[in-house]
Copies of this chain bind each other. A is one copy, B any other.
């Protein structure tokens, strides 16, 4: 019998440990903070409350997992967009890298301005000049070749002010939010005015967002059978879709095919996406990142040339949307330096 008693007591001990363990697990789940880089303020409470409501099975505001679509702008919402959109910094770097093959650029604008780092001249060329630069650096090659160029740039180029890789200038609180939402059955999408082929090579590794969940602006692409008999997709210079402003709800409709229940932006280019998301039935979470932190990042809104936040700020105030003050709502802005080692 002693073996039995022994076995029993071992079982009893294991059961007791198991129960204690379970209890500790529950206690830890209840007390651990899914958003540690967010200050305990109104926005964080509102976020956690929203997720609890839409995931409460049987609750009045329950949303089935398949419909838990979350849409995030990229520039200024998931990563920094100053002093210029990072894709533009990439394009300028490409002009420099390609300048040996293009000696005519030394005397031809807007390329001359890039090569001479003449910001004032560049600004004067406006959007037309920038589009010319993008066309010259983003087209005339296969989609795979372009993807490789982007991957190499993102792993090596460094931001002028922070002297860190661009991809390490993502917002730690937003990374936590993406993870938190996915852990609660959400499907997270990027809906950005940036180029779709510029984002896809790295969004999965940096944000956990796969290529098929990236919506963005795009140029035409052409299918052809190459001289080697292999099919290829060639990037052309003509723009095909601009995923900005009213283009964002159009892009959401085209790529996702259903309305998000959560949307995050930071500028007037996000206004229509937020309006479209807010107008759906049932619980909604609408938010703007307000850049209020000149010390740790940047402070800008109504007067900024990049990422202007004016009309969308008025609308957010009028409708009671969430406004995230970077200075007050975020304990941390960027991941710690060591965390970006993998990118180099």
Q: Give complex CA distance A8, B4 in Å.
A: 8
- Contact partner of A250 (CB less than 8 A), chosen from B8, B222, B249, is B222
Q: Give complex CA distance A275, B229 in Å.
A: 10
Q: Which residues of chain B are near A5, meaning CB under 8 Å?
A: 4
Given contact pairs A255-B255, A258-B212, A279-B231, A249 touches B223 in the complex (Cβ within 8 A): yes
Given contact pairs A221-B254, A256-B212, A249 touches B233 in the complex (Cβ within 8 A): yes
Q: Are B231 and A212 in contact, with the CB atoms below 8 A? A: no
Q: Give complex CA distance A275, B247 in Å.
A: 32
Within the complex, what minimum Cβ distance (angstroms) separates A39 from chain B? 32
Residue of B nearest to A66 (CB): B210
- Contact partner of A231 (CB less than 8 A), chosen from B4, B233, B254, B272, is B272
Within the complex, what minimum Cβ distance (angstroms) separates A6 from chain B? 12
Q: Give complex CA distance A307, B254 in Å.
A: 25
Question: Is A200 part of the binding interface, using a Cβ–Cβ cutoff of 8 Å?
Answer: yes
Report A216-229 CB contacts with B as 1/0, cut-off 8 Å: 00100111110000
- Contact partner of A253 (CB less than 8 A), chosen from B225, B233, B257, B275, is B233
Question: What 10 additional pairs, Cβ within 8 angstroms, besides A69-B212, A189-B212, A222-B246?
Answer: A143-B253, A211-B256, A211-B257, A212-B213, A212-B255, A221-B253, A221-B254, A224-B246, A230-B279, A233-B276
Within the complex, what minimum Cβ distance (angstroms) separates A319 from chain B? 11
